Amino acid sequence: MLNLSGITVRLGGRTIIDDATAKLPPRGRVGLIGRNGAGKSTLVRVIAGMLEPDSGVVSMPRGSRLGYIAQEAPGGDATPFETVLAADTERAALMIESETCEDPHHLGEIHERLIAIDAHSAPSRAARILVGLGFDEEAQHRPLESFSGGWRMRVALAALLFSQPDLLLLDEPSNHLDLEAVLWLEDFLKSYPATIVLVSHERDFLNNVVDNILHLSGGKLTLYPGGYDAFERQRAERQAQLASAKAKQQAQREHLQAYIAKNSARASTAKQAQSRQKALAKLQPIAELIDDPSLSFEFPDPDELRPPLITLDMASVGYSETPVLTKLNLRLDPDDRIALLGRNGNGKTTLARLLAAQLKPMDGAMNASGKMRVGYFTQYQVEELDRSETPLQHMTQLMKGATQSAVRGQLGRFGFSGNKATTEVGKLSGGERARLALALITRDAPHMLILDEPTNHLDVDAREALIQALNDYSGAVVIVSHDRHMLEMTADRLVLVDSGVAKEFDGSIDDYIAFVLAKEPASLKKDGGGEASRGVNKKDQRKANAEAREKSQALRKQAKALETELEKLAAQRKLIDQAMFDPASADKTLAKLTMTDLMKRRAQVEDSIGEAEAKWLEANEAIEAFNA
């Protein structure tokens, strides 16, 4: 269906895509993935014909219709319903022509074609798509100009799905959707009858929709069969092979270097040393995964506060004189991990703003610890960063009176070290700007993090790093996200915001998905009551989760300390080797020792390295088992 042959794209003097080639299967559902900045959106624009590659060819069967959402959201007086119907341009043209055609024979042909394309069911099909994406009957017939940009992008998505192209290109379609709409879209795409190329960073979405993964890395394309989890397994195997090969090469390199250092000065072995020098020069470094600073998240732990952090007692909140949520009864403790669920527009952000003290209760009571600090993240903070300033300037302005090392230390927690700290925000990727916003809101070690869609600009690996950082963080977390995997891995409590109220949802994320899809949760089928009916004590569960996080933190600190110890021991071994093979440039203390003493000391260091490595492996195995 779609062949990419030798695609090369250079932007601003930099090669983004380099001789990339791939042959996609007919009617395949392909997930296009890669790190932030790898060039996924650039490749999609090349496929869509919006960007001409420097070289290479994109080929599809003749007559294939391609569908892609433009960056601009639709607007004007037209309604969502009218916009979606108009997306089927053939139907729209035929309907207009049928009203003006006076030739009975041609009119018959028009009606035959309308029947063939099932034109008369189009209104109901358009309405179903709009309902699935969150538009009720009233919203479908309001002018587009009355909607926000995010909702108008939903209309654009609905129009694209309605038009049913032969090649459907979707670039991060879930960014403007809530979890409920994502579930509907997932179900729709599973049965889509043509080829799909889907750019997404949501692993559950990819696992449930695609049957192939197209990985863009280093400008090259590799096609993997299966969903995202299958790709991860195959990539892990490749990483292990690379790590093994690199370790063997490093051992060979060190052996050659040691021989050269020992024998270069001796006339009898100089030629052999020269030969080994040539062999060393020919050793090509083995490619490995880059230690990407975009995977760096570390939330500073706050000082302890006595529970509760916040209590709501029959509270109401809204805007002007109109309440959005009423009769709120909620308690948040320092160890809570809460996910706010519900469709966009039902009040999740309103509740988040109340907890962040950006809104005051209109009725009832809200009590919060006077010493509590809150870090509140929203997409608006990412968009409002001054693009002409650097991360260092942003952080310095907020951490008034702090030392330069403290400012840089906070930036370093989120991967902004060295030159990255002094790079203009306008030159940072979307994921880097999101990390900067997270660094800014956590500068004073907040007791509670409130995160409203924190993953929109993050790739899959960065999302995993964020999940890990949240699980290591010792404060409370309130999160709004359409990423099921993130909710499942970070939330202990689910709160459903719907119909003007916010109530605890008994059950898991899977139960909630079943609830959204109007299916009976499996747990309820068995015993009729979800978690509550199984006798699970929520307080005990939260305590167990908090203890688990503490244990995980302790294991990670132990592993980090062992890594530091291994680095020190390796440095000691290097100094001893230097004293053994090049006494003139060696450490003065070691240079005084005899060769026998140096060999004994080296053996002791090797034993210490072996013990530390064993402990490090044990700690990491415990961490992996704990995460599993």
Query: Tell me, what's the pLDDT at 290?
Result: 45
Long-range pairs of 224-233 with CB within 8 A, sequence gap ≥ 24: 227/31, 228/31, 228/33, 228/203, 228/460, 229/203, 231/33
Quick one: what percent of the chain has pLDDT higher than 70? 87
Q: How far is CA 237 from CA 383, 385, 569, in A?
A: 38, 40, 30
CA neighbours closer than 13 Å in the CB half-sphere of residue 590: 21
CATH topology of domain 2-232: Rossmann fold (3.40.50)
The tokens for 235 are 């990539």
Residue-wise pLDDT for 569-578, tens only, equals: 888 888 887 8
Q: What average pLDDT score do residues 607-627 get?
A: 73
Give the position of tokens 């341009």: 89
Measure the CA–CA gap between 424 and 430, rounded to whole angstroms: 13
Quick one: what percent of the chain has pLDDT higher than 90? 48
CB 2 within 8 A of CB 166: no
Residue-wise pLDDT for 26-36, tens only, equals: 889 999 999 88
Residue-wise pLDDT for 325-338, tens only, equals: 999 999 999 989 99
> In this structure, what is the dihedral angle of CA atoms 601, 604, 609, 614, given to the nearest 10 degrees?
180
**Residue 18 has what DSSP assignment?**
E
Lowest mean pLDDT among 138-152, 227-241, 378-392, 412-426: 227-241
Residues 6+ apart with CB under 8 A from 365: 311, 312, 313, 314, 315
Q: What average pLDDT score do residues 210-224 get?
A: 93
- What three-state secondary structure class fits 514? helix
Q: What average pLDDT score do residues 107-119 get?
A: 85
* Class level of CATH domain 295-505: alpha beta
Measure the CA–CA gap between 334 and 611, rounded to whole angstroms: 38
CB 35 within 8 A of CB 87: no
Pairing state between β 14-24 and 2-11 = antiparallel
**Whether the predicted pLDDT of 287 surpasses 60:** no
Query: Tell me, what's the pLDDT at 165?
Result: 93
CB 31 within 8 A of CB 212: yes
Q: How far is CA 13 from CA 54, 56, 305, 401, 426, in A?
A: 12, 18, 53, 41, 18
Pairing state between β 448-452 and 374-377 = parallel
**Residue 306 has what DSSP assignment?**
P
The tokens for 427 are 């030159």
Compute the mean pLDDT over every residue in the chain, rounded to the nearest whole number: 85
**Whether the predicted pLDDT of 485 surpasses 50:** yes
Q: Which residue has the higher pLDDT, 178 or 560?
A: 178
Lowest mean pLDDT among 42-46, 73-77, 453-457, 531-535: 531-535
Band of residue 525 on the pLDDT scale cut at 50, 70, 90: very low
Measure the CA–CA gap between 221 and 207, rounded to whole angstroms: 19
Residue-wise pLDDT for 182-195, tens only, equals: 999 999 999 999 99
For residue 423, which phi and psi values (nearest 5 degrees)?
-90, 135
**Whether the predicted pLDDT of 276 surpasses 70:** no
**Whether the predicted pLDDT of 169 surpasses 90:** yes
> In this structure, what is the dihedral angle of CA atoms 100, 104, 110, 111, given to the nearest 10 degrees?
110
Measure the CA–CA gap between 511 and 522, rounded to whole angstroms: 7
CB 397 within 8 A of CB 425: no
Query: Tell me, what's the pLDDT at 280?
Result: 67
Query: Tell me, what's the pLDDT at 584?
Result: 75
For 149-193, give the DSSP string: HHHHHHHHHHHHHHH--SEEEEESGGGG--HHHHHHHHHHHHT-S
Give the position of tokens 């041609």: 106
User: Angle at Cα 437 formed by Cα 421 and Cα 176, nearest 5°?
Assistant: 130
Estimate the share of the chain in helix, then strand, then coil, as percent rounded to the nearest 5: 50, 20, 30
Q: How far is CA 434 from CA 379, 465, 491, 495, 511, in A?
A: 8, 13, 21, 25, 30
Lowest mean pLDDT among 51-65, 196-210, 531-545: 531-545
Band of residue 523 on the pLDDT scale cut at 50, 70, 90: very low
Inter-axis angle of helices 228-263 and 270-282, to 10 degrees?
160
- Say which amino acid occupies 517: L
Helix residue ranges, H only, 191-302 = 203-209, 228-263, 270-282
Residues 6+ apart with CB under 8 A from 583: 591
Query: Tell me, what's the pLDDT at 534?
Result: 40
Q: How many Cβ atoms from other residues are within 10 Å of residue 384's Cβ?
A: 10
For residue 451, which phi and psi values (nearest 5 degrees)?
-120, 115
Query: Tell me, what's the pLDDT at 68?
Result: 92
Residues 6+ apart with CB under 8 A from 555: 619, 622, 623, 626
Longest dimension (CA), the chain: 110
Query: Tell me, what's the pLDDT at 625?
Result: 61
Q: What average pLDDT score do residues 533-562 get?
A: 63
- Say which amino acid occupies 401: G
Q: Is the pTM of this model over 0.75?
A: no
- What three-state secondary structure class fits 399? coil
**Whether the predicted pLDDT of 274 surpasses 80:** no
Residues 6+ apart with CB under 8 A from 286: 242, 245, 246, 249
**Whether the predicted pLDDT of 220 surpasses 50:** yes
